[in-house]
Structure 1
Amino acid sequence: MDPRTDSARAAGEAARELRDTFRGDLLLPRDQRYETARRVWNGSIDRYPGLIARCADTGDVIAALRAARRHGLEVAVRGGGHSIAGHGVADGAVTIDLSRMATVQVDADARRVTVQAGSLLSGVDRETQRHGLAVTSGFVSHTGVAGLTLGGGFGWMARKHGLACDNLRSARVVLADGSHAVAGMEDDADLLWALRGGGGNFGIVTSFEFDLHRVGPMVTTGAGLYDLDDGRKVLELFRELAAEATDETTWAASVWDVEPGSSLPQEYHGKPVVSLAFVHIGDVEHGVATGRRLRGVAQPLDETVGPVPYLEVQTSNDAAWSHGMRRYWKSHYLWELPDAAIDTFLARGTATLGGGASVAGSLLARGGAIGRTGEHDSAVGHRGALFEFMASTGWADPDEDETRRSDVRTFADRMARFGRGVYVNNLDIEGEDRVRDAYGVQKYQRLAALKARFDPDNVFHLNQNIRPATASAARLPHSATET
């Protein structure tokens, strides 16, 4: 019998079972809104869930999970739908869609915010900035809070205030058996430890409680664009600036091809340029002074420096990373940036590659509070890495799929000799070894032991999966203070 027929029948039965009490929306493939609901950020993902359960509250989440398990259906969990791997949807599965659960409640006096798991970063930033507060979030405002936080959560505030998960005080979680738990230092410190970087392996988080910090409303940004011939000098300056930066400043460098229609002179259109950029979340005057370094080694082709609203910084990458484009990237952590790595980075593996596909390279400086936070305070791996490298591309034509992905892999493979480890949120579907690389041996073993405790049947496996440890291997310390 065709397994697709079986899963469709089971999904229909699950939907019928839920309809009388489910407060949200239940969408089957025949429903009008299904086609839109199954789409995620990465346009390369084209999957057909058996049932999309758009939950209105925690009760819906529990009901959908239990129905999926009773009917033998796989469970996918969708927050913002922004992962490169598209884990929020899977063929034949029940997608537990949290997008309707997007309430954000700020306690300005306590400097805390409670965020439902379907919220996007934009919603959190808007509500917290009403009070001059913020929590570390990512670089694209239509990213989901849940996926970002559960994988770590790097953003412009991280060097000063830690990763998003470092600011997570507690979380409400639906566990694999359908029970509901609160993970916090006083309630279940082990589960909180695992949620701080362990991804969606341990349950469905329905709300997060974060600490907030004074930021904005104005911060300083700066960026310079340079001729590729000046690239080596610019990247050497980037290395120097990253080493001496205060925690309030985060530097980034990139190499990419200028798009047609750019304001740069015509001779640069379609040609590679190098960029050097920063965001300073502290004193604006200090930030403006920092921007003068952009002219330190070469004359920029274009340059902007000045104060802007924090909310504007948080949305500045949205258009470049818009929904619907086909996306692919690969990433590594770098622990240093030797001259050979700079040269490889600027060459992008084989420059602008055979089929004319444009691959961008980026380097983001880490350090600060990321590294100072205790290595064993969370599941996040490789806190001591100084840079994050990414090779990425976006395109519209499916006929370019293999060329684009191959070009990215070529670039990333040539940078791999300078790297160790990877940010779990930047993994595509790359296999168990790469997931292990994201955590390191000791953390992976502890996560596997906790997986055996909270999800022994690996119900939550449509993610960067951590397999439950065997009974003998699972006898690891359960205290969050033990290593």
Structure 2
Amino acid sequence: MIAELRERVSCPVLAPEDPGFGEVRAVFNAMHPGDPSLVVSCFGTADVVDAVTFARDNGLAMSVRGGGHSIAGLSASDSCMLIDLAPMHAVQVDAAARLARVQGGAVWADVDRETQAFGLATPGGVVSDTGVAGLTLGGGYGWLRRKYGLAADHLLAAEVVGPDGQVRIASENENTDLLWALRGGGGNFGVVTWFTFALEEVGPTVAFGGTFYPIEEAAQVIRGWRDYVAIAPDEVTATCLTITMPADPELPEAVHNRACVVIGAVYSGGADAGMDILRPLRELGTPLMDMSQPMPFTAVQQGFDAFFPRNTLQAYWKSRYLSSLSDEAIDFVAARALDRPSPFTLVNLFHMGGAIAAVAPDATAFAQRSSPFLLSIDGNWTEPADNDANIAWVRRTFQESANYGDDGVYLNFTGRSEEPPDVAMDSAFGANLRRLAEIKAKYDPTNMFRSNNNITPAPN
């Protein structure tokens, strides 16, 4: 059977005993490394077509790995045929048209490198090693979100290999329902081999704010952050996170093994003016370290990479949107930040609004547009023996956070759920779920693409 597939494709087809099998792009979450029975490391769209067709004809379960950063391990299923897109990482920029064509195996560092050569960017993530495909198909928050919205909002077209082996173009001119679904509906509809993004003028230098405060000042700092973002212009995207910094010789001793509140912010405009506008975020408490400065946009995109090394951390995350951030909610976040069970665990607050909220909730599959804040509880630790305790802490923190608001979940920041799948899907998609189920039934009626945040095809 493997010999037949090898004859079809132009790329490596690897069984566990083959050299190179263990060198397939590693996942982020070491809790879900995956144990596929077969890997097809595709070189192009034709290889993907042949791999999907082979899986369908032989009744094989299938997973697709773009960047491999799925927190829930959705690109790391066991005993499946893994379609590995890592070799497909080309980026083509049309600077005059402000467009970028990006292959499905690219990570955001690939995109930033090419687009920033022209002083252009599209909204991506906050970690440059994150896959373009997973982040975009799930919505996609990054450092440009308040000025320019989601990665999915800048998706203009996609080349998609469906379960029938057909290659379709989804755009505003053809298969428009499929494009609507891809803008936030996840990997339910096929393998996206090429993305076409609209680009914006960004950089190459932007104003960056990065200030570290003592964790003991968390409540004060977060209150100041909340009050600042309430009046900040849309050019400001700001995030608050708590983490324990390592004893890195490249960092000041003041933060070595120190639990900190980190305020990170980017101004999407002139760097000099931006530094003045971001200044209040540097004065919220007693700074332990201040990295704020005009900085290349590519450096900003890579600034948090060290917190998320591949295949190193056990990870279990939960997130929920909040319609407000009361003093009581802030006190809760500060208390949980002090009680983190692992130094690598983060308790994060993202400011939303701006361009995100300017898009109608039914204009794309991504429905949650109105909430001004997202709380993300990122459980990260190193020892599998500690899984139960850390997962329990994240779940308890998530459950208690519902006392301060519950506007739904963000699936990209959510681990494998203990809830029935339909509950999580309803929380994420709301009124859009019915249309997504109908589109799923049209393009994938047998649910061949199910290793994802799965949407059940609507019945005929």
TM category (shorter chain) comes to: over 0.9
Label 1:271 to 1:64 Cα distance change in 2 as closer, same or farther (>3 A).
same
> For each residue in 1:162-220, what CA deviation from the matched residue of structure 2 results, as whole angstroms up to 9, or x when unmatched?
21111111111111111111101111110000000000001111101111110000001
> For each residue in 1:84-140, what CA deviation from the matched residue of structure 2 results, as whole angstroms up to 9, or x when unmatched?
122122222111111111111111110101111111111111001111111010011
Distance in 2 separating the partners of 1:310 and 1:289: 18
1:421 paired residue number: 408
> For each residue in 1:354-398, what CA deviation from the matched residue of structure 2 results, as whole angstroms up to 9, or x when unmatched?
xx6663201010111000012221000211111111111322222
Label 1:85 to 1:295 Cα distance change in 2 as closer, same or farther (>3 A).
closer
Distance in 1 separating the partners of 2:273 and 2:378: 32
Question: Within the alignment, does 1:124 sit opposite 2:114 as a pair?
Answer: no
Matched to 2:122, the amino acid is V
1:397 paired residue number: 383
User: Rg: which structure is higher?
Assistant: 1
Question: Within the alignment, does 1:468 sit opposite 2:454 as a pair?
Answer: no
Which of 330, 340, 343 in structure 2 is aligned with 1:342? 330
Matched to 2:5, the amino acid is L
Which of 285, 295, 298 in structure 1 is aligned with 2:285? 298
Alignment gaps of 5+ in structure 2: none
Which of 392, 414, 432 in structure 2 is aligned with 1:406? 392
Partners of 2:259 and 2:343 within 8 A in 1:
no
> How many residue pairs were aligned?
454
SS for the counterpart of 1:106 is strand
1:283 paired residue number: 270
Partners of 2:25 and 2:86 within 8 A in 1:
no
Which of 106, 109, 120 in structure 2 is aligned with 1:133? 120
Matched to 2:170, the amino acid is A
Matched to 2:425, the amino acid is V
Label 1:148 to 1:38 Cα distance change in 2 as closer, same or farther (>3 A).
closer
Distance in 2 separating the partners of 1:271 and 1:312: 24
Which of 233, 236, 258 in structure 1 is aligned with 2:220? 233
1:332 paired residue number: 320
Question: Within the alignment, does 1:362 sit opposite 2:348 as a pair?
Answer: yes
Matched to 2:454, the amino acid is N
Partners of 1:38 and 1:52 within 8 A in 2:
no
Partners of 2:267 and 2:278 within 8 A in 1:
no
> For each residue in 1:391-410, what CA deviation from the matched residue of structure 2 results, as whole angstroms up to 9, or x when unmatched?
11322222112122222222
Question: Within the alignment, does 1:384 sit opposite 2:370 as a pair?
Answer: yes
Distance in 1 separating the partners of 2:440 and 2:169: 17
Label 1:349 to 1:159 Cα distance change in 2 as closer, same or farther (>3 A).
closer
Further displaced range: 300-309 or 268-277:
268-277
Label 1:376 to 1:135 Cα distance change in 2 as closer, same or farther (>3 A).
same
Partners of 2:244 and 2:343 within 8 A in 1:
no
Question: Within the alignment, does 1:224 sit opposite 2:214 as a pair?
Answer: no
Label 1:91 to 1:228 Cα distance change in 2 as closer, same or farther (>3 A).
closer
1:434 paired residue number: 424
Matched to 1:462, the amino acid is S
Label 1:349 to 1:227 Cα distance change in 2 as closer, same or farther (>3 A).
closer
Question: Within the alignment, does 1:18 sit opposite 2:5 as a pair?
Answer: yes
CA-CA distance at 1:70 after TM superposition: 1.4
Matched to 2:459, the amino acid is T
2:439 paired residue number: 450
> For each residue in 1:203-242, what CA deviation from the matched residue of structure 2 results, as whole angstroms up to 9, or x when unmatched?
1111011111100000011122223343222111111111
Label 1:428 to 1:352 Cα distance change in 2 as closer, same or farther (>3 A).
closer
SS for the counterpart of 2:105 is coil
Q: Compute the TM-score of the two structures, normalised by the length of structure 1.
A: 0.90
SS for the counterpart of 1:371 is coil
CA-CA distance at 1:256 after TM superposition: 2.6
Further displaced range: 455-464 or 220-229:
220-229
